[in-house]
Amino acid sequence: MTYGSSLAAAPAIREPLHAPVAHLVRGGVIEGIHYGSVVVLAADGTVELQIGDIEAAFYPRSALKPVQAVAMLRAGLPLDGELLSLTAASHSGEERHLAGTRRILELAGLPDDRLRNVPDLPFDPVVRETWVREGRLPSQLAQNCSGKHAAMLYTAHLNGWSLDDYLDPAHPLQQAIAEIVEDLTGQAIAQVTVDGCGAPLFSVSLHGLARAAARITTAAPGTPEARVADAMREHAEMASGSGRDVAALMRAVPGLLAKDGFEGVQVAALPDGRAVAVKIADGADRARVPVAAAALARAGVDPAALAEFAGVPLLGGGAVVGHIRAVRALEALPAHDVCA
């Protein structure tokens, strides 16, 4: 791969120097600590806050999907609206997600069996339970990345590229995606591996991921970046699912683009370029949401709009006895009792 001269060097591959980002507080005692890293960017792109290690190489997982969608649009993918949102989705496996994936394949003139993602059950627990009760088996359509894979096939088909090997990192499609990953993050890729769905996964830094999100949300109207942002914000449930926290977050904060990823990754950006990115070291999803909400508050989002995301309740005997909350250094709130 040839890196452009304007790119920063690839982030260092090292053990990340994570720091405490969330406390699990039960009955006034800190019962557990989640470590991780957080970056908050100001509208001008400067780092307003950093906790932990924002420059080490890491895998953004599905938080990189908006960037992949931008790359496919630049390569000629003619999707907008719900289907473009699905292209950038980690969907729940609802019927609308399956129907949307089939529609993308129909537009490409391709059957379902051309998908090369790993068969799976629907991501949403309720949908998955119904699926199993009905005796349905794991499928590539139900797997949460099927929209992205269908769009990859469509993009490859439109460009006359081979289809059977569209997941090969050396394939023209994946080379085009890697180029845009570097363009939007502003840095060379540190490492390439395979994501859970089978697609190539590119390692950048947490700082680079936040930069990419900011570039997407600040792009001029009509550009591939703006089209992706518009589609995901306008069709948040298609990019995730009913009841998913990322969809609720985008509804709660006007203009916000948000995307989660496995292993405790979250990125979010506002139209003026303010952006946050979060990595929870142990991959715990329960810490991702309150830490991301606290980071957005530090970026200037009204805390009242984030109230429902600020603390995951802990139960004892069926009653709330504590919360998982971001550390005070991140929240930057006045000192108060630890169990408040």
Q: State residue 340's pLDDT score.
A: 32
Q: Are 37 and 287 in contact (CB under 8 A)?
A: no
Angle between helices 146-158 and 95-108 (to 10 degrees): 10
Residue 42 scores a pLDDT above 70: yes
Residue 4 scores a pLDDT above 70: no
Cross-sheet strand order for the sheet of 200-205:
57-58, 200-205, 191-194
Strand-pair partners of 82: none
Listed range (33-42, 144-153, 185-194, 325-334) with the worst mean pLDDT: 325-334
Each residue's pLDDT tens digit, 132-184: 999 999 999 999 999 999 999 999 999 999 999 999 999 999 999 999 999 99
Beta-carbon count within 10 A of 9 CB: 9
CA-to-CA distance for 17 and 312, rounded, in angstroms? 25
Q: Are 236 and 246 in contact (CB under 8 A)?
A: yes
Residue 333 scores a pLDDT above 50: no
Mean pLDDT within 67-83: 98
Closest CA to 259 of 38, 91, 95: 91
Residue 264 scores a pLDDT above 90: yes
Residue partners of 152: CB distance under 8 A and separation at least 6: 72, 166, 167, 173, 199
Counting Cα atoms < 13 Å in the Cβ hemisphere of 129 gives 2
